[in-house]
Structure formats: structure tokens, C-alpha cells
Amino acid sequence: MNEKISSYPIDGKYGKYGGRFVPEVLMEAITGLEKAYTAAKADPEFQRKLDYYLAEFVGRPTPLYLAENLTRKLGGAKIYLKREDLAHGGAHKINNTLGQALLAKRMGKARVIAETGAGQHGVATAIVCAALGLKGIVYMGTEDCERQRLNVYRMRLLNTEVYPVDSGSKTLKDSINEAFRDWVTNLESTYYLIGSTMGPHPYPMMVRDFQSVIGKEIKQQFKAKTGGLPDALVACVGGGSNAMGTFYPFEDDTEVKLYGVEAAGEGIASGRHSATLAAGSEGVFHGMYTYVLQDKHGQIAETHSVSAGLDYPGVGPEHSFLKTIKRAEYVYADDKEAVDAFLMLCKEEGILPALESSHALAHAIKLAPTMRKDQSIVVTLSGRGDKDVETIAKVTGAKI
Amino acid sequence: MNTIKTVFEKQKQLGYGCLVAYITAGDPTPERTPEIADALIRGGVDILELGLPFSDPIADGPTIQNASLRALKSGTTPKRVLEITGEIKAKHDIPLVIMTYYNPVFKYGTERFLAEAKAVGVDGFIVPDLPVEEAADYLEAAAKAELDTIFLASPATSRERLERIVAASSGFLYLVSRFGVTGAQTDVADATVELIRKVQPFTAGKVALAVGFGISRPEHVRRVVAAGADAAIVGSAFINIVAANQPDMLRELEEAASALKAATKT
């Protein structure tokens, strides 16, 4: 491989992963989308607008915070937290929804559709649609609607319509199926705002680019604080957008170790997990060639995680690529480790992390004591945990 | 032995278009698929598409989604679909086409699955989430197995891509009649008629033109054939009869096929 790692995708592919495995009717749409995105990216006016909203509306840059108490407790490498939980909406999701919604507006699409699992991407979509005057529609599995009733109501307050999806397993993957079906039916009027680094090209690239603001800020902030680069970056991986946003600006800095942390649910051996890269195999799903959790006949598997945001049987193709070329290491944390990490951060640092981000923390907790005190780990705290308080009470047996 | 090509030629000589039927193999159970096929073929279906069910069929509406779920629940595997196909082929000399999403084929091993399909009498494949740009391995395996590769074109397809799709297609070109997913509709839009007229010059003399998505009634069939299509593809209308699963289901299927076939007269 002669190309720099960061030069991918090449013709829509990351090595052999990625591509455009979509029904014919969508081929012209995604080709058109790629052209529109390439033009927007090169347009200083588009970039200026994006920067304006990121600063004034989202509240960027988010802090890079040295978690001194946690560092002291673990007695190893310094732990820094990239505070995406402090972005407007309470998660990193808005970096992407803002970029894509500005693109939708530029393309003259007035109707925006999105999928959501836990509701974080749905809420981030609803927020930018309200702010930019777009009509928002969010597909959400009926099972998820039930589990995340407050987020359904939040989206409705933000003037977005929530369409419950009752097909298949009634969760995230089915809401994506339904969003694709809507898109092929309303191609002319509609922009499909995908929430993670997944789907057909150009989505994995576009979402990564919009999320890269995370890694770029980490690089600047860390340099300003220490003059160098961190030794390791840790981020959780469901579809993989906060991890891609964290890793991408460091892809060619091979001295920085990259750790993606998947959800092992009740344990890999139990079969009830969402650890696609750890336990899956290659396949074609939701428009991309990537690692997939599937049975031996190629049927997509049901997944499980205590955090709904990691509960997805596929993964972004660039992660499959980074795994294959060994640029990133993919590990996992189970439900219990994530909950313990959640409780530890609450107690030690006064921060409630999202259960998704708690998986990344759980790995950092294992990693820090194996490293020297003069080394540093940056953990991307992708979201805040207020949404998970009920779940935490339930799994710890507490009464609210 | 009839092939897709010879069936189109024969029907044309007789003054008919072709009726292509789609059913999901294994719906409601793998055991019942051969008798459902019998009824459709008795009614006059010229080419039969057997759907290999996939858990996440993004190009399909609720009718075929539910059929896929019923088939998966009743234990339909890729191997079982090949067995069913072989059983149908042993009784009927008509072309059989497997329609499925790419992942089950890929997981089985594309080359191996296509070779085994050929061995049981499959004539061609339709893979709706595999556009020509991603189809190199599949095209190679199909050429090796001597199977027809039926690609789709849609109202959004540009002229440049249409030429490329027609060049990669054998058997027939599957023209998607409208924006949307599969499913029965009340009528055929004028836009569909225009679309057929636009695409027909690209396929003429090269490959047959079959139109599907939303075609469910004899008057729809008449309209697309009159517009220049060589075949009408009907799926959800048959599956609705299977889903209702009444005691006289087989007779209903046969009668529906017969009325639709009569409407292909040119």
C-alpha cells in the first residue's frame, strides 16, 4: 500500500470495503450527492457557514479535559476526555447533522429523512431541521420508540415527525430499511441524512469528514497543552462515527494508537452483543461491503447492547479497513464493564457519560494502568448520559 | 429445453408478451412452494422468479417483506431454495430465475452458489442491490455458469448508465416502473408508459424488456405491453393471494395468472 491511509476512499472504497450496493433507483442519487458534496467542500462560503454554526450554535470547540481524579485513581497514563457531551443536543451527532442539513439546503431539498435507534441522531436531526427551516421526518423502530419515549417527545417538540417502524426486528436496522424505502419513493424532494459512517459511498466519507472536527480539535488542543501528540485515542464504535471523527486526523500519525471499542453486550460467547468487528464476518449490508453480524446463511443477526446507540449489526467500512490493515485495534467492553465505567466517571469526575461512551471509558480504565505516567490517552466522550439514567437505575436495581 | 430467450421469441411469434411471476420461495412453507408454482404455470406464467428471502429487503414493500419473514420463519435457506427450484424444473420446462439480495449469495460463495443453481436448472439471477458498478465478480461467475444476468433500470437511470446496464444484461432487462418499492398499485401511471417508450429503443434487438413494480391487474399488463414492453412482471398480487392462504388459494392463483396472461396478447 503506497497511498497514505487518509487518502481513502479511492473510488468509493477503503481497500476492498465500502462501495455502493444499492437498488438501481438510488445510483444516480448517490452519484449526484457525491458531486454536490465535493462542490460544497471546495466552496469557502459553505465552509464559512458550517464553521459559523459549529461555533455559535453547537458551541464548539468542545473542551479537552484532563480527568485528574480518574488518572490518579488508575495510577497510569493521563486520561483526557474530549467533551462531545457538551455539544448542543448532548452528543457528537450534531456535527454531522449540521453539515448534511446545510448540504441538503444547498441542494434545494426541503424534506429531510433520518433513521434513529436510541434517538440521539433523530434529535440532532430535529434540532438542525428546526434551526435551518427544513421539514424533518425520523424513522424509529416501535421497540425503540417504547424504550426511548422521551426522545420521541423531544423530536416532536422540535417540530419533527416521528414515523414508528413496525417491520422486522423493530429497531435501528429496520428504521434504516424504512428510510431507504422512503428515499426511493421520494427521491426528488428528499435528502436522506444518514447518522453514522455507514451506508453507500459517499455517506461513510461525508459523515467522517463532518465528524473529523472532533479529531482536529483534539490535535490542536493536545498540542497546545503538551506540545506533542497523545499516545492513544479511544472511542466507542457502533456504526462508528465518533470513532472515525476522532481517528481520521490521526490516521497518518502511526505513533498514535487507535482503539475502537465495541459493545460486547452480555458477552461475545452469549451471542447477545453488537461486536461486529470482533465477532462478525464480511458481507454486504445497507449499501456497503463491510463486517456484518450474520448467520451462516447470510441473514442479518439481531444485536444486543445496554446502550441502544451501539446496537447495530454492521459497522462503517473504514473501520473494517483500519482493522484489516491493523492501523486501529478493535476491542470490546460488555454491559457490566460499561455500567461500572459510567458509575466511576460520575463519582470521580462529576460527569455523566452516555452509556455508548462508557464503553470507550471502560477500555481506557483497562488500558491506563498498563501505560507509563508520562503517557496520555484521549477518550472521546461522545455524549452525555442523562438519557441513560433510567437504564442505569434499572440495571443496578436502584429505585428512583 | 426452453430458455429465457426462446420463451420470449416463441411468445412473440404467437402474438403474446410474456408473463413473469414472482413468488417468495418458502412462503408460507418450503413444502408448499412447488404446488404454488404448479398453479401459476397452469395459469400461463411464462417465466417464474423465485425469491430467496433476505432479512432486510430494502427494495421491497410490506407485501414482500412479510412474505420474506414468513419464509425465513419456516426455515427457508439458500440450499432449500435450490432444492425447491430443482423440484419445479423437473416438472416444468419453463425458465426459472432466482431473485435475491446480494448478501446470501455472497455468504454462500458467489461462484459456488451460481454453479449449484445452474446444476438444478436455474436460468438466471436478479440481484436488486448489486448495480453494474459492483458486479464484476458476479458477472464472471454467471458467465462461467452460463446463467443470464438480469439487471434493473429505473426512472432515475441516465442514458449513459442505461447503455452500460443493457450491455451487462442477458435474458431480459428489468425496468422498474416508478419511484418506490415493490407492491400492488391501483393503476399504471402515464409516466410509466413514457418510461417504457424511452427505454425500449435501448433494448430493441439486444435484450427483452420486462416491466415490474406495481403491476397487479390485467389492465396494467395490457398497458405496459401496448407501450412496448416484452413482458410484465407481477409479484405482490400473487403474494397477497398466498398471504390470505384461503382453502382455494391454488385455484385463485391459477385464475389470476390466466387473466394476466390473456392480457399480454398484442
Q: What is the DSSP string of B30-90?
A: GGGHHHHHHHHHHHT-SEEEEE---S--TT--HHHHHHHHHHHHTT--HHHHHHHHHHHHH
Enumerate the residues of chain A whose CB falls inside 8 A of the CB of residue B69: 168
| 0.95 surpassed by pTM | yes
pLDDT digits (tens, 9 = 90+) for A291-337: 999 999 999 999 999 988 898 999 999 999 999 999 999 999 999 99
Enumerate the residues of chain A whose CB falls inside 8 A of the CB of residue B236: none
Tell whether the model's pLDDT for residue A143 goes beyond 90. no
Tell whether the model's pLDDT for residue B214 goes beyond 60. yes
Could you give the percent of chain A with pLDDT greater than 70?
100
B 94-113: CB under 8 A from A: 101-108
Tell whether the model's pLDDT for residue A2 goes beyond 70. no
A 266-295: CB under 8 A from B: 281, 283-287, 292, 294
pLDDT digits (tens, 9 = 90+) for B154-178: 999 999 999 999 999 999 999 999 9
Edge-to-edge strand ranges of the sheet holding A257-263? A64-66, A78-83, A376-381, A232-236, A257-263, A328-333
- Taking CA atoms, B245 is separated from A222, A234, A322, B250, in Å, by 66, 54, 50, 9
User: Higher-confidence residue: A118 or B23?
Assistant: B23
Interface test mutation site (partner B, options A175, A181, A183, max chain B beta carbons within 10 A): A181
Looking at A143-157, A230-244, A259-273, which range is the least confident one?
A143-157
A318 is catalytic: no
CA-based angle A271:A274:A275, to the nearest 5? 90
pLDDT digits (tens, 9 = 90+) for A123-134: 999 999 999 999
Tell whether the model's pLDDT for residue A87 goes beyond 80. yes
pLDDT digits (tens, 9 = 90+) for A21-69: 999 999 999 999 999 999 999 999 999 999 999 999 999 999 999 999 9
B251 contacts B259 by C-beta, under 8 angstroms = no
C-alpha–C-alpha distance, residues A271 and A290, integer Å: 20
Q: Hey, are the CB atoms on B103 and A177 less than 8 Å from each other?
A: no
The stretch B231-248 carries a mean pLDDT of 97
A11 and chain B: CB distance < 8 Å anywhere? no
Tell whether the model's pLDDT for residue A1 goes beyond 60. no
B187 and chain A: CB distance < 8 Å anywhere? no
Active-site residue, from A84, A241, A382, A387: A382
A115 is catalytic: yes
Domains of chain B from N-terminus onward: 4-260 (3.20.20.70)
pLDDT for the residue B11: 98
A28 is catalytic: no
Tell whether the model's pLDDT for residue A146 goes beyond 90. no
Rg (CA), chain A: 19
pLDDT for the residue A288: 98
The stretch A119-142 carries a mean pLDDT of 97
pLDDT digits (tens, 9 = 90+) for B130-154: 999 999 999 999 999 999 999 999 9
Q: Hey, are the CB atoms on B106 and A284 less than 8 Å from each other?
A: yes
CB nearest B134 (choices: A21, A186, A297): A21
B57 and chain A: CB distance < 8 Å anywhere? yes
For residue A333, what are the β-bridge partners?
A263
Q: Hey, are the CB atoms on B57 and A177 less than 8 Å from each other?
A: yes
Name the residue with cell 487518502. A7
pLDDT for the residue B122: 98
Enumerate the residues of chain B whose CB falls inside 8 A of the CB of residue A168: 55-56, 65, 69
| Nearest residue to B251 via CA among B236, B241, B237 | B241
B22 and chain A: CB distance < 8 Å anywhere? no
Tell whether the model's pLDDT for residue A13 goes beyond 80. yes
Q: Hey, are the CB atoms on A300 and B55 less than 8 Å from each other?
A: yes
C-alpha–C-alpha distance, residues A163 and A116, integer Å: 10
Q: What's the whole-number average pLDDT of chain B?
A: 97
pLDDT for the residue A134: 98
The stretch A346-352 carries a mean pLDDT of 98
pLDDT digits (tens, 9 = 90+) for B40-56: 999 999 999 999 999 99
Q: Hey, are the CB atoms on A177 and B154 less than 8 Å from each other?
A: no
pLDDT for the residue B184: 83
Give residue B198's region: left, alpha or beta (phi > 0; psi -120 to 50): alpha
Residue type, B201: P
pLDDT for the residue A400: 85
A178 contacts A167 by C-beta, under 8 angstroms = yes
Tell whether the model's pLDDT for residue A76 goes beyond 80. yes
